[in-house]
Amino acid sequence: MKRSGQAITALTAYDYPTARLVDQAGIDVILVGDSVGMAVLGYDNTLPVTMDEMLHHTRAVARGVQRAFLVADMPYGSYHVTIADGIRNATRLLKEAGAHAVKIEGGQRRAALVRRMTDAEISVVAHIGLTPQSVHRMGGYRVQGRSNEAIDRLYADALALEAAGAVAIVLEGIPREVAAEITARSGVPTIGIGAGPGCDGQILVFHDLFNLTFSPPTKFTRRYADGAAFFANALERYRDDVTARTFPNDAESYHLPREVREQREALQDRETLEHREAVQYCEAQQRLVELEPIGKA
Ligand code: KIV
Domain ranges for the chain, please list them.
8-223, 255-291
Q: Kindly provide the residue ranges of all beta strands, DSSP E only, lying in the chain, ordered along the sequence.
A: 8-12, 29-32, 69-73, 101-105, 123-129, 168-172, 190-193, 201-204
Q: Which residue's CA is minimally distant from atom 2 of ligand 1?
A: 33
pLDDT at 36: 98
Q: Which atom of ligand 1 is nearest to the CA of 103?
A: 8
Average pLDDT by consecutive 10-residue portion of the chain (297 residues)? 98 98 98 98 97 98 98 98 98 98 98 98 98 96 97 98 98 98 98 98 98 89 96 98 98 97 93 88 87 62
SS3 readout for 106-167: CCHHHHHHHHHHHHCCCEEEEEEECCHHHHHHHCCCCCCCCCHHHHHHHHHHHHHHHHHCCC
What is the CATH code for 8-223? Answer: 3.20.20.60
Residue 214: predicted pLDDT: 83
CA 102 to centroid of ligand 1, rounded, Å: 12
Ligand 1 center from residue 121 Cα (angstroms): 23
DSSP for residue 44: S
Does the CA dihedral 48-104-71-129 come out positive or negative?
Answer: positive
Pocket of ligand 1 (CB under 6 A): 12, 31, 33-35, 73, 127, 170, 172, 193, 203, 205
Give the per-residue pLDDT at 273.
Answer: 87
235 secondary structure, DSSP code: H
Contacts with 112 (C-beta within 8 Å, 6 or more apart), sequence order: 83, 164
What pLDDT sits at residue 294? 61
CB atoms within 10 A of CB 10: 24
For residues 200 and 171, the answer to whether their CB atoms sit within 8 Å is: no
Distance of alpha carbon 169 from alpha carbon 182, whole angstroms:
10
Q: Residue 94, Cα to own-chain centre: how many angstroms?
A: 18
Spot the catalytic one: 172, 252, 283, 290.
Answer: 172
pLDDT at 297: 47
Contacts of 245 (CB under 8 A, 6+ apart): none
Instruction: Specify whether 172 is catalytic.
Output: yes
Q: For residue 115, how many C-alpha atoms fall within 13 Å in the half-sphere facing its CB? A: 10
